[in-house]
Chains A and B, each alone.
Chain A
Amino acid sequence: MGANSGPGASPCASPVGPWRKVLYARQPFPDNHVDRRFLEELRRNIRVRQYRYWAVVRETGLVAQQVSCVAVFITLWSCMDQGRLGPSVLLWAATGCALPGYGLYEMLGGKDRERPRLADLQSAAVFLAFTFGFSPVLKTLTESVSTDTVYAMSAVMLLAHLLSFPYTQPSPPGSLSLNAALFASVCLASRLPGALHTFAMLSWALLVFALWPCLLHRLRERAEWSFPWAAGLVCAGGVGGLGAVWPGGALLLSLALLVLTLACPLLLVCLQRHKDNIHGPWDEAEIREDLSRFLS
């Protein structure tokens, strides 16, 4: 009340002392009073990191390869839809990719295993059994839904997968991204001509969307030199595969990848100079202390 009564009324009542930045003492100043020292505490850009261009390009590889993964999956599906690839070929190819991939994963994993091998085997058995068992059901699932609706749904779901993919921590894959991708692949797979096709498609979906991010993450952790190569390989595979099915799409994809890997980092690095963050006493309080001992 006293502080609010205005600057004119109070100074004559008591000798005006220096203003102090405390709330507990009643002072003859309005609530929003600050003194000259206020702006002295202003600091700019204290937490801005200076990126190096090639390091950023290297990191964008992850995004690029995820986009390419979607492209690879679409390529496989359209090949199967058009009858260029038989389901058995794809199944053999899936086996051929999965076994070396698992071997590599185990090799890079080192001594400290979180899961026993039996659990992996069990998971694989569950995947195969459920997918194989449900594939006839899945095949007739969207029979009465129009093809355009199915395509639209798949496109939306794949986009949701790309947007919600946890790029900072890709292993284990995030729930929403993996579920969206699986939903899209079930939708697409139900358009294929046979039950075995559906089964093959779902196995590939599992490989591409669930298992490959795990393997890539491990590669990046344990053998960092191989990550750009792997990402580049996937990108090349995606562009090449899409080129075989739809050349225009391949052109678009390669353009998108180029923009993503080269132009976007350049933009980031350039714009970093214009960054102007101000910090000062008006910031929200930030708790710096380690609170984990209280939380445990």
Chain B
Amino acid sequence: MVLKIFFPTCCNTADSGLLIGRWIPGQDSAVVLAVIHYPFIPGQVKKYLSETQNQSQVDLAVLGSWSLPKDGQEGMDSFLKDLSTIFPNSRWLQLSREIGKRGFACQVVHNRITPPDPAQGGTDKKDQIIFIHYDQRKVMLSQLHPIHEESPGEESSELRAVFHTVAQSGPLFLLDRYDEGPLKLTHWQSEGREASIVVELSKQASVPLCIVLTWLVLLSFQLFLYVVCCRILNIWPVQFISSKMSTCVQTAYRTNHFQTVFSTKKATSHMEFMRKANIFVSFLVDMSLGLLLVSWLYRENHISQLANTLVPVADHVAKELQELLEWLMGAPAGLKMNRALDQVLGRFFLYHIHLWISYIRLMSPFIEMILWYVGLSACLGLTFALSVLSDIVALLTFHIYCFYVYGARLYCLKVYGLSSLWRLFCGKKWNVLRQRVDSCSYDLDQLFIGTLLFTILLFLLPTTALYYLVFTLLRLVVVMFQGVIHLAIDLINSFPLFAMGLRLCRSYRLAEGVKFRVLCEEPGTPLHLMMEINPLKCSSVLQRYRTPTYSCYPRDSWVDLCKKLFMGELIYPWKHKTTKTD
């Protein structure tokens, strides 16, 4: 068996004393956490250990003795050996280091007081010992990430236990050398507690401030939520429309975030803490970007410039559409269309555009004012500004959406009509009960009318399909533009900024595993390894700490989308029923 001793690097030069740590249950390894210096009173050590154990929930024990002989302490060795009788343990480690040598010497004493284990006693001499040095501070702060499920080896669980032990024994590290107490310890913090004045001051100040702020925010939010969510949003049309407007979606999303961040409950798990921190940081970044945008917008009259370009652009789009329709009403690309239907459809759409242009003309004096007020929403964050932009685009291209819906409905009607009439043409029908095509004998008049309609639909299909195609393409352009905006919003909302910052600046905080480096390997002394922390990969950080948003939910695949487009079902934002009932 190989005995592994995890030894903190800070204790390398500690004065002689007792090793405090923990035997990892089920594993042949020990974690050294601190060294208690001579002189001490054994009863006080036991009392201290049991107190710390109560606080940290780690079963601490005295592992053995540590000796680093200095001048005038020659007689320590035999004394430290005798200590094993005071602290009964099945195994007693005797570590000793000589000045000028890199390696430690180690002896394992099997205590005969405890019931003797003949098997262990037999292998006593063959025990091999490996020292694994670790940086106590980094190990304490780092969060070991689940190693992939494919290799749940023994090593991973042992490592996990080591990390857990070190992370849990925070109370042990509170005692520093300036504390007046009966015991003196060496650990990573023994030179004095690590803290910065600014952080401490802000911690002190932030507690009452946070409470007040939280109460204020929560109170106002509860009121807001009560009024908005319970009263207004639950009315059907409002609910329906708000689910289609990205501003409302973003508002709901941010409200949710607010509730998470400002909840008075302390984050218990690491994931929850990271989630809160991520949301908070992304919220701050969002706000600051939004304020930048506002400062740009309201300087040098940018708003009116925007308004002055927006109206002609909308006008121009309408003009282009009009020309497109006129082109479609002729013989577009030399296609043979049904003239009568072509004219009817073209005139219908032209009238629509006419209505639209007059609507824009009516709106144009107010657009600057609207933009001015809407621009204020950027104070709430860049995401709000982008959502508002997305909604404005949706509203300004409403005519395209209408055209698309008309075209799709007409086309869908034709496709479904043709498919069911084709079955009639072949003397078959769709059996709803059995969900299959059955043969059927029709009456004469059914056949006659069916064929008449089939012929008409078949000859009119190309015209409708062309209109549908053109308007679908237009609609897809708009949807793609909105999609890009939504992607940007989603990026800001869900990007784990805090986790990413931790990964970049304090890469040991998020550990994926460890790697070992040989420190010294001399014959006669145990092997010394240095344990270094492998930081988590950036892609895994993204994957694990990404805040879930609506874009994470599964959507149509590309094949489904193409099928829907072909069948003339509405793609976005209205969802179409998928069950087929003829």
Contacts and interface: CB of A to CB of B under 8 A. Distances in A.
Given A145-B459, A210-B444, A175 B425 contact: yes
Nearest to B425: A179
B452 A140 contact: no
B456 interface: yes
A142 to B, nearest CB: 6
Interface in A175-194: 175-176, 178-179, 182-183, 186-187
Contacts of A140: 338-340
A interface, over-half SS:
helix
B242 interface: no
- Give the size range of A's interface with the partner: 20 to 34
Q: Which of B426, B449, B454 has the most CB of A within 10 A?
A: B449
Interface in A117-133: 123, 126-127, 130-131
Nearest to B463: A144
Q: Which of B441, B447, B454, B460 has the most CB of A within 10 A?
A: B447
B426 A141 contact: no
B288 to A, nearest CB: 61
Contact of B336 (A145, A182, A206): A145
B463 to A, nearest CB: 9
A143 B447 CA distance: 25
A131 B455 CA distance: 13
B50 interface: no
Interface in B427-474: 427, 441-445, 447-452, 454-456, 459-460
A211 to B, nearest CB: 8
B55 to A, nearest CB: 77
B424 interface: yes
Contact of A144 (B337, B444, B450): B337
B493 to A, nearest CB: 52
Interface string B59-100: 000000000000000000000000000000000000000000
A186 B452 contact: yes
Contact of A172 (B339, B426, B444, B459): B444
A127 B426 contact: no
Contacts of B456: 134, 137-138, 141
Interface in B357-410: none
Contacts of B340: 140
Contacts of A127: 445, 448
B34 to A, nearest CB: 77
Contacts of B448: 126-127, 130, 178, 182, 206, 210
Interface in B29-67: none
A174 interface: yes
A170 to B, nearest CB: 13
A141 B462 CA distance: 12
A267 B424 CA distance: 38
Nearest to A129: B449
Interface string A37-56: 00000000000000000000
Interface string A144-166: 11100000000000000000000
A123 B459 contact: no
B452 A182 contact: yes
A144 to B, nearest CB: 4
A140 B460 CA distance: 11
Contacts of A178: 444, 447-448, 451
A176 B425 CA distance: 6
B336 A175 contact: no
Contact of B442 (A141, A142, A175, A182): A175
Contacts of A134: 452, 456
Contacts of A131: 452
B519 to A, nearest CB: 70
A206 B452 CA distance: 12
B interface, over-half SS:
helix
Given A130-B449, A179-B451, A142 B444 contact: no
Given A175-B426, A175-B441, A126 B449 contact: yes
Contact of B455 (A126, A144, A183, A206): A183
Nearest to A187: B455
B338 A143 contact: yes
Contact of B451 (A123, A146, A183): A183
B445 A174 contact: no
Contacts of B445: 123, 126-127
Contacts of A137: 456
B120 to A, nearest CB: 61
B566 to A, nearest CB: 24
Contacts of B449: 126, 130
Contacts of A138: 452, 455-456
B319 to A, nearest CB: 28
Interface string B328-351: 000000001111100000000000
A130 B450 CA distance: 11
B339 A144 contact: yes
A227 to B, nearest CB: 22
A144 B450 CA distance: 23
A210 B443 CA distance: 11
Contacts of A146: 336
A80 B554 CA distance: 62
Interface string A177-220: 01100110011000000000000000000100010000000000
Contacts of B444: 123, 172-173, 178, 210
Given A137-B456, A179-B447, A183-B455, A143 B426 contact: no
B449 to A, nearest CB: 6
Nearest to B340: A140
A142 B427 contact: no
Nearest to A123: B445
Contacts of B455: 138, 141, 182-183, 186-187
A182 to B, nearest CB: 4
A138 B452 CA distance: 9
A182 B446 CA distance: 12
A179 B455 CA distance: 10
Contacts of A176: 425-427
Contacts of B443: 123, 172
A173 B444 CA distance: 8
B338 A141 contact: yes
A123 to B, nearest CB: 4
A146 B460 CA distance: 15
Contacts of B424: 175, 179
Interface string A279-291: 0000000000000
Across the A-B interface, give the 7 residue pairs with the lowest CB-CB distance, nearest first: A175-B427, A144-B336, A182-B451, A123-B445, A186-B455, A179-B425, A141-B459
21 contacts: A127-B445, A134-B452, A134-B456, A140-B339, A141-B456, A144-B339, A173-B444, A175-B426, A175-B441, A176-B426, A178-B444, A178-B448, A179-B426, A179-B450, A182-B451, A182-B452, A182-B455, A183-B455, A186-B452, A186-B455, A187-B455
Interface of A: 123, 126-127, 130-131, 134, 137-138, 140-146, 172-176, 178-179, 182-183, 186-187, 206, 210
Given A175-B425, A176-B425, 5 more contacts: A123-B445, A137-B456, A175-B441, A179-B426, A179-B447
